[in-house]
Amino acid sequence: MSIEWYLAVSAIVFSLGAVGVMTRRNPLVVLLCLELMLNGGNLALIAFSRMWGNGDGQILAIVVMTVAACEVCIGLGMIVAIYRRHLPIDVDELRELQG
């Protein structure tokens, strides 16, 4: 398959993740949708890496996975902390920092 198809799939996945981040209210699902966006970026990186026959894109994809793991760790820790304080687990209600 030509590289274009992979890029199209990556764009679709990224857009779906963006829609999820914008519309869902459960922070767990918002984190999952962030993962979707990162995965769309990863797929584009690896497709371009294959396009040029250069491994730098794969290294960058692995770094993105590392960052995603850290983000999951911090995000889930925050959700557990929110749950412990008996606050509603809902991004529309947690708006103390909204100003």
Partner 1 sequence: MSAVLFFLAAIGVIAGAIGVVVLRNPFFSVLALVAHLVSLAVLFLLLRSEFVAAVQVVVYAGAVMVLYVFVVAYVGGESDSIGERLRGVGSSQPPQVGSGLRFGGAILGVALLVELLIALIGTGLEATSGYGAGYVPGPKAFGTPAYIGNLLLTRFLLVFELASFLLLIGAVGGVVLARRRGGIGEDEPEVFVALDVPRPLGTGTTVEGVGSRTA
Contact predicate 37/14, CB 8 Å: yes
Contact predicate 19/30, CB 8 Å: no
Count the site residues for partner 1 by CB under 8 A. 76
Positions in 4-43 near partner 1 (CB under 8 A): 4-20, 22-26, 28-29, 31-33, 35-36, 39, 42-43
Q: Does 99 bind partner 1 (CB under 8 A)?
A: no
Contact predicate 76/70, CB 8 Å: no
Positions in 40-79 near partner 1 (CB under 8 A): 42-44, 46-47, 49-56, 58-59, 61-63, 65-74, 76-79
Residue 35 CA to its chain's centroid (Å): 3
